[in-house]
């Protein structure tokens, strides 16, 4: 691989069985951009630009990782989300575009109101609280996760952005969370594990092989496990007219809405993502 064009050709050849051509182009581009410091447009404009031996060896190593199915974000240890770059590793899910839609809905809902207390449950890389903090003023943001390794990533991401967010380790399924002295929140948000055994068949092998199962899967017998626990917590920890936001499994929209209604939540709105699937819910706690 002596030139940028060679590199693109080799990637197209070797990854053809695994990915679509356009996907290969964007994966190769991300890696070559990082390697050379050139933009995607520059790579397109100067395909004959040379690569040195070190660069070409690095790309070959990355290519062999890609061939095992490793997502490019884990290779780069970086993922783009809501206008920022986040550090990621296999201890956290790679942030998804549908979660950007959820963040967008929260921001539109709370607008420019300051002094909001917001809690994210199951924060992973911290992409939700960090994006909320970056796009609001004077809000106090809290985020929890059961995984210390995920929290390390989230804390690092907050530090990279110089943000003050209170991260803590806790298990939403365990009652010790209610024993903590936490403030009342204006907003509670969560994108908990929601993939069931049935959904597994449709999942990409690289998600199954590389992303943390504890962040993805919920028992088939109890698909609302996390939603019920979070709703119960929200009932005692939301201010009057506070908001609960969920990212949900597309197959359980109406069930989740009914569960929230039965607990006394009001103004429950179920929204589809850009792919047209039931993906998020906003509900108000009337107090």
Handedness of CA 206, 210, 215, 219 (dihedral sign): positive
Give min distance, CB of 216 to ligand GLN, in A: 5
Give min distance, CB of 276 to ligand GLN, in A: 15
Residue 129 or 193 with smaller CB distance to ligand GLN = 193
Residue 23 or 57 with smaller CB distance to ligand GLN = 23
Q: Are 10 and 16 in contact (CB under 8 A)?
A: no
Give min distance, CB of 5 to ligand GLN, in A: 34
Residue 46 or 210 with smaller CB distance to ligand GLN = 210
- Binding site for S-adenosyl-L-methionine: what residues are annotated? 122-126, 145, 191
Give min distance, CB of 199 to ligand GLN, in A: 8
Which residues in this chain contact ligand GLN in the complex, by CB under 6 A?
96, 191-195, 207, 216
Give min distance, CB of 115 to ligand GLN, in A: 29
Residue 71 or 192 with smaller CB distance to ligand GLN = 192
- Binding site: what residues are annotated? 122-126, 145, 191-194
Residue 227 or 265 with smaller CB distance to ligand GLN = 227
- Binding site for substrate: what residues are annotated? 191-194
Report DSSP letters for the chain, one per residue.
--BHHHHHHHHHHHHTTTS-HHHHHHHHHHHHHHHH---HHHHHH-TT-B--HHHHHHHHHHHHHHHTT--HHHHHTEEEETTEEEE--TTSPPP-HHHHHHHHHHHHHHTT--S-EEEEES-TTTHHHHHHHHTSSS-EEEEEES-HHHHHHHHHHHHHTT---EEEE--TTSTHHHHS----EEEEEE----B-HHHHTTS-HHHHHHS-HHHHB--TT-TTHHHHHHHHHHHHHEEEEEEEEEE--GGGHHHHHHHHHHTT-EEEEEEE-TTSSEEEEEEEE--
Residue 7 or 172 with smaller CB distance to ligand GLN = 172
Give min distance, CB of 84 to ligand GLN, in A: 19
């Amino acid at each position: 691989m002596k030139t940028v064009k060679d590199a693109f050709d080799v990637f197209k050849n070797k990854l053809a069985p695994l990915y679509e051509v356009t996907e290969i182009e964007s994966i190769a581009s991300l890696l070559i951009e990082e390697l050379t410091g050139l933009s995607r447009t520059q790579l397109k404009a100067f395909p004959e630009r040379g690569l040195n031996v070190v660069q070409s060896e690095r790309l070959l190593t990355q290519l062999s990782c890609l061939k095992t199915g490793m997502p490019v974000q884990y290779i780069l240890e970086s993922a783009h989300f809501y206008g920022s770059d986040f550090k990621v590793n296999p201890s956290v899910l790679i942030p998804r575009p549908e979660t950007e839609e959820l963040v967008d809905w929260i921001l539109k809902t709370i607008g420019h109101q300051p002094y909001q207390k917001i809690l994210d449950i199951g924060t992973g890389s911290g992409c939700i609280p960090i994006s909320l903090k970056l796009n609001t003023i004077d809000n106090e943001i809290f985020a929890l996760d059961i995984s210390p390794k995920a929290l390390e990533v989230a804390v690092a991401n907050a530090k990279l952005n110089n943000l003050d967010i209170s991260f803590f380790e806790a298990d939403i399924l365990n009652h010790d969370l209610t024993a903590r002295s936490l403030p009342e929140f204006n907003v509670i948000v969560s994108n908990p594990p929601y993939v069931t055994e049935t959904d597994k068949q449709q999942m990409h092998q690289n998600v199954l092989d590389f992303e943390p199962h504890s962040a993805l899967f919920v028992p088939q017998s109890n698909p609302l496990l996390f939603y019920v626990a979070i709703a119960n917590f929200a009932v005692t920890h939301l201010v009057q007219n506070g908001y609960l936001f969920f990212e949900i499994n597309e197959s359980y929209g109406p069930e989740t809405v009914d569960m929230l209604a039965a607990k006394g939540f009001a103004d429950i709105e179920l929204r589809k993502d850009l792919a047209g699937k039931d993906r998020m819910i906003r509900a108000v706690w009337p107090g």
